[in-house]
Structure 1
Amino acid sequence: MTRKNVLLYVCMLITAPLIAGCWDIMEPQRMYYINAIGIDYEDNQYKVYLQIINFADVAKSEQPSTGAMPSEIGSAEGRTIEEAIYKLYRSVDQEIFWGHLRFLLLSERVMEHEHSLSVIDTFIRVRETRYQIWVYCTKDPIKDVLLVTPILQSSLTSSKLSNPIGTTEQESFIEPKSLRNLVIGLNEPSHEVSIPYVSLTSSWENVDEPVQETTFAGVGILSKDGFKGFIQNTAARGNQWMFDKTSRGEITFKLHEQQRDYLTVDLDKLKVKVKPIVRSNESVTFNIDLHVQATLNGFKESVNSDEIRAHIQETVKKEIIETYEEGLKLDVDIYRFSEYLYRANLKTWKTLEKDGKIPLTKDSIGKITIHVTKINPGRKTYEETIEK
């Protein structure tokens, strides 16, 4: 044996025990992976639902494994969330891994419960979970929502609740809320956060039967003092125009009352600015300045760009005010005007604030200016039909 081979052999003997030091690492296929957790509260008991996904779906996110259940739901009750989870630990066959937890679903009852914030605190303290967990609320049964299978039997890891960013690229009706942003919002004026409200719909069907899907249907408002209520469906539409990261939204209107047909316009490239205006009597109003681009869809006759621009401005302004007034009914600062004043004029904010929030009325919105910077006719298959 050459000297070189002897040295190689000695090195192998030395490193072998070090390599064997990973013997106690848990193999991935010997663990259960939590994709979602739902929390309900009834009869002074927390009810916890754990959604465990098929291991094959973690590695193959586009299509689930054929012949295997995409997920299973476990449930247990306890005086605390942790007690319920420990009961579920007793009924599983392998170790549960929390590092892939994607979303948290809260029922209306647990939102209304006086200790709802302790639910959020539970998942902040768990070392295995991340701050990028998405948070939702619902009025529907938690189990029914978690049992929904995505369209075309796609993997649960690519569903709209597991990954809401994909759906908001086409229509940003509701701003997704992560656990991190929820905590920040509750700790900043006005100490209120809008959580996406999820409901079940039967808008889709296959060759055999209608299928249930989840849909974003508004927001639930959670504050540091508890749950404020829901703003649902069309009443929540103003939110999208006050969210700077809105990718795209739509409005539909008639150019003239005597017309039979409606016109749908896509709005994108939003830029919104809110400026607090402090008056001499220390009252505050908020001016809203919004820039947006528009794209027309399916119009059947010649239209005038000035008319389109005027209708966009009127409709968007109306939706902003409607959502704001729905928030006032719940004593909610839905557009977080308190934080705008806090950032711009701390002295005035300290004078006016009460429990971190300034008093708001219907007159607190001052001037709303909407700039339609561009009107795009879409693909020019036919001759130009937008008149300047």
Structure 2
Amino acid sequence: MARVLLVTISLVMMGLLSGCWNRIELNQLGIVNAVGVDYGEDGWNITYQIVVPSAMTSGTGGPSGSTNQPAVHVFSVQAKTIHQAWNLSSLENPRRIFVAHNKVVVIGKEAAEHGINNLLDYYFRNPEPRETVLMLLYEGQASEIVKQLNPPEKLPGTSLSDIVDEEKRLLAYFPSTNVLEFALRVNSDSKGAWMPIIKLSGDRSEHSGAEQQSLEVYKVTSPPIKLVLSGLGIFQGDKFAGYFNHEEGLGLSWMTGQIRKTEIPFPCSPSSENSNKATFLVNSSKTKAVPVKEGEHYVMRLKVNIRGNLVESGCPLDLTHPEVIKQLETQLDKEIEKTIFKAWSGIQRLKVDAAGFADKVHRKFPSDWRGLKDRWPEELNRMKLDVQVQAKIRRPGLIQKSFDQLQKEKEKK
């Protein structure tokens, strides 16, 4: 009897411990690397890159390795909703779509003008897609970007995300955003948000996408078409409102504290604005915005403190003198102020609070906000901006005079 009971318990336990009944093998997954979102009369068009594992073993993902196919395959699906598009992908793709490793989502202009609340809803409602996916805007059909190969990298989606990350670290012309950050901004008091603009640079008449781009491209030193960050798309809520150029984008980065390791060219003196220049590398930056009420309206006091090094100098100045360093710091302050005011002019031109000033006014003057909420764009247009920049040059470099100046002094001897 005890033996029968033991066998029965063992069989029951074996049934309970068989936890692989709903397993999905790796070779059954279609790992998505980049997504393009377009909108038209027939609904949403989703274009996505699927990683080809066999091509990843080659040296370049091209003809020089063990395979003659690119490292990704591109598919497009059209549907009434975004989630339905992913389900309809099973009609042309034998693998289960897996979006958890997606790097970037590209928004087409028509989709941006229509509004992307449906896309945000998809990311926050479902457990698999990640809100850390980077967002980019394209002025045409996003499918063009997703179909584009980007040598020398194997995975175009990963290459795009790396370009955005490097631009954020070194330039900050076009501050990046991911799905979570974008959603927080459009649901804030200001309603203003942004995303970098990507474009195709080169001769598009010869090669216009992966289906027309021959793998012979990998045999030349420079591909005919390149993916380039070119501007900043400004959104009012979830809808596209206008553009910022690189100077306005850099000014917005200063206003919102997005500066990391940016290099700033600036004139040596007011009289040498178009000739002799120096370059300052930011090591640390801090921006503080404080609203102040003056009468019935507001002034935003923006304080920027930066520290860094002089990495290039064409100035005919002797950097051993403290007053010369102070002169350069003054010129640097003016250059940053000018950049910030260009962004401020862009904000007033588009009437979009991309800097998030509404949130700061709401926190400091909560009782006033009840009356300001419905007429904030008009109040933003009346707001004045008071910018105070304090730059410190910590190290002027290994030589105290410009190389050109040293040569001229040697010739005189």
Determine if the TM-score, normalized by the shorter chain, exceeds 0.5: yes
Judging changes above 3 Å, is the alpha-carbon distance between structure 1 residues 343 and 136 closer, same or farther for their aligned structure 2 residues? Answer: same
Q: CA deviation at 1:137?
A: 1.1
TM (normalized to structure 2)?
A: 0.79
CA distance in 1 between partners of 2:239 and 2:126 (Å): 22
Which has the higher mean CA deviation after the structures are superposed, 215-224 or 286-295? Answer: 215-224
1:3 aligned partner: none
Matched, 1:224 2:244: no
Task: Decide whether the 8 Å contact of 1:34 with 1:101 is kept in 2.
Answer: yes
The within-5 A match list for 1:38-117 is 38-55=36-53, 66=65, 67=67, 68-113=69-114, 115-117=115-117
Task: Identify the residue that residue 312 of structure 2 maps to in structure 1.
Answer: 298
Counterparts of 1:126 and 1:269 in 2: how far apart (Å)? Answer: 38
1:206–1:57 CA distance, 2 compared to 1 (3 A): closer
Look up the SS of the partner of 2:334 in the other structure: helix
Tell me, yes or no, if structure 1 residue 210 matches structure 2 residue 223: yes
Write 1 or 2 for the structure with the bigger share of helix.
Answer: 2
- The residue aligned with 1:328 is 348
Identity of aligned residues (%): 17
Q: Does the aligned pair in 2 maintain the 1:189–1:357 contact within 8 Å?
A: no
The aligned amino acid for 2:39 is: Y
Cα–Cα, structure 1 residues 25 and 355, in superposed 2: closer, same or farther, change >3 Å? farther
Q: Distance in 1 between matches of 2:123 and 2:235?
A: 16
Distance (whole Å) between structure 2 residues aligned to residue 140 and residue 206 of structure 1: 29
Q: 2:149 & 2:188 partners in 1: Cα distance?
A: 37
Partner Cα distance (2:346, 2:123) in 1: 31
2:410 maps to what in 1? none
Partner of 1:35: 33
Matching residue within 374, 386, 395 for 1:354: 374
| Partner of residue 5, structure 2 | none
Measured after TM superposition, the shift of residue 191 of structure 1 is: 1.5
2: distance between equivalents of 1:327 and 1:356? 13
SS of the equivalent of 2:262 reads: strand
Structure-to-structure mapping, 1:128-167, within 5 angstroms? 128-156=128-156, 158-161=158-161, 164-167=164-167
8 Å Cα contact 1:313/1:370 also seen in 2: yes
Once the two structures are superposed, residues 41-80 of structure 1 have per-residue CA deviations (whole angstroms, 9 ceiling, x without a partner) of: 233432211111223689x9x9759424211111122333
Q: Distance in 2 between matches of 1:45 and 1:157?
A: 24
Q: 1:63 to 1:359 in 2, by over 3 A?
A: farther
Superposition deviation, residue 32 in structure 1: 0.5
1:371 and 1:135 map into 2 onto residues whose CA distance is 33
Q: Map residues 196-345 of structure 1 onto 2, 5 A cutoff.
A: 196-202=196-202, 207-224=220-237, 226-256=239-269, 257-258=271-272, 260-279=275-294, 281-303=295-317, 304-345=324-365
Q: What is the CA RMSD across the aligned residues, in angstroms?
A: 3.3
2:390 is matched with which residue?
A: 371
Q: Report how far residue 126 of structure 1 moved.
A: 2.3
Q: 1:57 to 1:282 in 2, by over 3 A?
A: farther
Deviation at 1:356, TM superposition (A): 6.4
Could you tell me how far apart the structure 1 residues matched to 2:402 and 2:276 are?
16
Distance 2:227 2:293 in 1: 43
- TM-superposed CA distance for 1:319, in Å, is 1.0
Task: Work out the CA distance in 1 between the residues paired with 2:95 and 2:227.
Answer: 30
Q: Is the 8 A contact 2:186 2:238 kept in 1?
A: no
Query: Residue 290 and residue 260 in structure 1: after superposition, are their counterparts in 2 closer, same or farther (change >3 A)?
Result: closer
User: 1:364 Cα shift?
Assistant: 2.0
Give per-residue Cα distances to partners, 1:139-191, cap 9 Å, x unaligned.
Answer: 14423322344452244464232673344222222222111111211211112
- Distance in 2 (CA, whole Å) between partners of 1:172 and 1:151 is 24
Alpha carbons of structure 1 residues 111 and 158: separation in structure 2 relative to 1, 3 Å: closer
Distance 2:79 2:21 in 1: 36
The one-letter code of the counterpart of 2:385 is G
AA of the residue aligned to 1:41:
Y
Q: What residue identity is the alignment partner of 1:86?
A: N
Task: State yes or no: 1:192 paired with 2:192.
Answer: yes
1:384 positional shift: 6.3
Q: Is the 8 A contact 1:317 1:368 kept in 2?
A: yes
Deviates more, 1:333-342 or 1:211-220: 211-220
CA distance in 1, matches of 2:35, 2:143: 10
Structure 1 residues 227, 260: closer, same or farther in 2, change over 3 A?
closer
The answer as to whether partners of 1:220 and 1:231 remain within 8 angstroms in 2 is yes
- On the 8 A contact 1:134/1:162 being kept in 2, the answer is no
CA contact (8 A) 1:192 1:223 kept: yes
Aligned amino acid, residue 52 of structure 2: N
Deviation of 1:39 (Å): 1.0
Counterpart residue number, 1:5: none
| Deviations 1:71-119, CA, capped at 9 Å, x for gaps | 1111122333334333322111121112212222111111111x43223
Cα offset for 1:306?
A: 2.1
Shift of 1:375: 3.8
Partner in structure 1 of residue 3 of structure 2: none
> Any conservation in 1 of the 2:305–2:391 contact (CA below 8 Å)?
yes
